[in-house]
Amino acid sequence: MPRKDLEELQSRRLRSVVRRVYDNNAFYRRKFDELGLKPSDIRGIEDIGKLPMTDKADIRDNYPYGLLSAPRNEIVRMHASSGTTGKPTAVFYTKNDVYTWASMFARCLEVTGVTREDIMQVTPGYGLFTGGLGFHYGGEELGCMVIPIGPGDTRKQIEMMKDFGTTVLGSTVTYSLRIAEVCQELGMDPKDLGLRIGVFGAEHWSNAMRKTIEGTFGFDAFDIYGLSEMCGPGVGIDCKQHEGIHIWEDHFILEILDKRGEPCDEGERGEIVLTPLTKEGMPLIRYRTRDLSKLIGECSCGLTHRIIDRVHGRTDDMVIVRGVNVFPGQIESVLMKHPDINNEWYAYARRNDTGSMDSLYIKVETDRPTKEMAAMLSRELTSTLMGLKPELEFVPVGTLPRQEKKTKRLIDERQY
């Protein structure tokens, strides 16, 4: 689609979604009224800066249904990601939203070269997490065969690939490298699996890591971008040129903003802010993703959907470990319930020496460590972190460093 036509489509869809949230959602109607803004004031994408922003705190404060812009009886699906408190960040989909998501994901797969002849093995988790179902419905919409195996049991994963002739791997980067490790333990070259395409999401990874993965498996590796608050994975993907991630601008308005909320120049790093144009159930206007990237512009592939650089960090103190959002407050809420745990603790996101596995490592001060305490904390933390099991180390009180200024307790030590 020519860029001019794409921008005209964006403007039409923006007017529609603005009218939807104003007419159907008290939160946005109040936000608009506070700004003296009417839907008729938004004529096109050039007016995007007039609109109020939305962030994760707004979702939390309006939990569970306060940000719906469709009747509750039109909602057919909910997903959720972990939040800073005990409540998840819940998002909602109409029947059309589910179809739109599947169509966007199918487009992502098509860009990578997946066809109806392929067999795609889906290793991300199913359930409240959007990863597994995103791959699943995208593959079915495209028409390829889907193997919905989900995470874990790596030897079984390899056996299924060999038995059924898997050609496309849907995964996280770190799990793909774990598959490669187990192949080598079995005396097998990962290239002998016969995979030709790998599509990876839910983690930040570098172009150097892409080359490592491609060299290990002998396939093309692609970075798929998304977040639950928009739909899940499928918001964009890099194409075969690997120059950046195409954001599907017929479905989203993309902004890269600086700390003042002003648009960044092309090539200047800032926060990704997205406005969904085709979502019905819970469209979040100018949603602050907290992901950091920069606008690159147009890609040499010829697609008019602009590209952004890979996401290399976040504006908040959340880190993503094996696809799970981890916040300092989640860890602290568990630790501080136990009287024998001191106030001092640190958590580290780490990658092993081979780069094949990420883990969460937590150091906790206590003068009364017991096996029972370790087991109890492990269970509670794993439950709070949606199945991510951390490694725990008890150290004597007074061991960990003290800071007079605000302490950063969750530290990402991984190299991208």
Closest CA to 310 of 348, 272, 254: 272
CATH code at position 67: 3.40.50.12780
How many separate domains does the chain show?
2
369, 377 contact by CB (below 8 A): no
Strand 313-314 relative to strand 345-351: parallel, antiparallel, unpaired? unpaired
Last residue of a domain, one of 250, 285, 316: 316
Does the bond joining 64 to the residue before it have cis omega, within 30 degrees of 0?
yes
- Other C-beta atoms lying within 10 Å of the C-beta of residue 403: 10
pLDDT tens, residue by residue, 335-355: 988 889 887 899 999 998 777
67, 43 contact by CB (below 8 A): no
> From CA 234, how far away is CA 248, in angstroms rounded?
9
Please indicate, yes or no, whether residues 129 and 166 belong to a single structural domain of this protein: yes
Last residue of a domain, one of 293, 316, 339: 316
Written as six digits, the tokens of 172 are: 């996280």
Please indicate, yes or no, whether residues 50 and 154 belong to a single structural domain of this protein: yes
Q: How far is CA 151 from CA 77, 176, 177, in A?
A: 22, 11, 14
Please indicate, yes or no, whether residues 6 and 143 belong to a single structural domain of this protein: yes
Rg of the Cα atoms in the chain: 22
Q: What is the pLDDT of residue 112?
A: 98
Please indicate, yes or no, whether residues 232 and 138 belong to a single structural domain of this protein: yes
Please indicate, yes or no, whether residues 345 and 407 belong to a single structural domain of this protein: yes
Last residue of a domain, one of 316, 344, 373: 316
> From CA 285, how far away is CA 341, in angstroms rounded?
42
Written as six digits, the tokens of 96 are: 């059309």
Please indicate, yes or no, whether residues 293 and 255 belong to a single structural domain of this protein: yes
Please indicate, yes or no, whether residues 292 and 408 belong to a single structural domain of this protein: no
For residue 361, the one-letter residue type is: Y
- Other C-beta atoms lying within 10 Å of the C-beta of residue 211: 12
Please indicate, yes or no, whether residues 248 and 110 belong to a single structural domain of this protein: yes
> From CA 185, how far away is CA 192, in angstroms rounded?
14
95, 120 contact by CB (below 8 A): no
Spell out the SS3 assignment of the chain: CCHHHHHHHHHHHHHHHHHHHHHHCHHHHHHHHHHCCCHHHCCCHHHHHHCCCECHHHHHHCCCCCCCCCCHHHEEEEEEECCCCCCCEEEEEEHHHHHHHHHHHHHHHHHHCCCCCCEEEECCCCCCCHHHHHHHHHHHHHCCEEECCCCCCHHHHHHHHHHHCCCEEEECHHHHHHHHHHHHHCCCCHHHHCCCEEEECCCCCCHHHHHHHHHHHCCEEEEEEEECCCCEEEEEEECCCCCCEEECCCCEEEEEECCCCCECCCCCCEEEEEEECCCCCCCCCCEEEEEEECEEECCCCCCCCCEECCCCEECCCCEEECCEEECHHHHHHHHCCCCCCCCCEEEEEEECCCCCCEEEEEEEECCCCCHHHHHHHHHHHHHHCCCCCCEEEEECCCCCCCCCCCCCCEEECCCC
Please indicate, yes or no, whether residues 299 and 332 belong to a single structural domain of this protein: no
CB proximity list for 208: less than 8 A, separation 6 or greater: none
Please indicate, yes or no, whether residues 359 and 260 belong to a single structural domain of this protein: no
292, 314 contact by CB (below 8 A): yes
* CA count, 13 A, side-chain hemisphere, 238: 23
CA dihedral over 248, 175, 318, 385, signed as positive or negative: positive
Can you tell me which residue has the tokens 């690159």? 296
> From CA 146, how far away is CA 119, in angstroms rounded?
6
Domain that holds residue 231: 1-316
Going residue by residue through the chain, which has 416 residues, state the pLDDT in tens, using 9 for 90 and above.
899 999 999 999 999 999 999 999 999 999 999 999 999 999 999 999 999 999 999 999 999 999 999 999 999 999 998 655 567 899 999 999 999 999 999 999 999 999 999 999 999 999 998 999 999 999 999 999 999 999 889 999 999 999 999 999 999 987 898 899 899 999 999 999 999 999 999 877 878 788 889 999 999 999 999 999 999 999 999 999 999 999 999 999 999 999 899 999 999 999 999 999 999 999 999 999 999 899 998 999 999 999 999 987 677 778 889 988 888 878 988 998 888 988 789 999 999 877 778 999 999 999 999 999 999 999 999 999 989 999 999 999 989 987 644 568 899 998 76
Please indicate, yes or no, whether residues 98 and 18 belong to a single structural domain of this protein: yes
CATH code at position 333: 3.30.300.30
Please indicate, yes or no, whether residues 110 and 175 belong to a single structural domain of this protein: yes
> From CA 270, how far away is CA 210, in angstroms rounded?
23
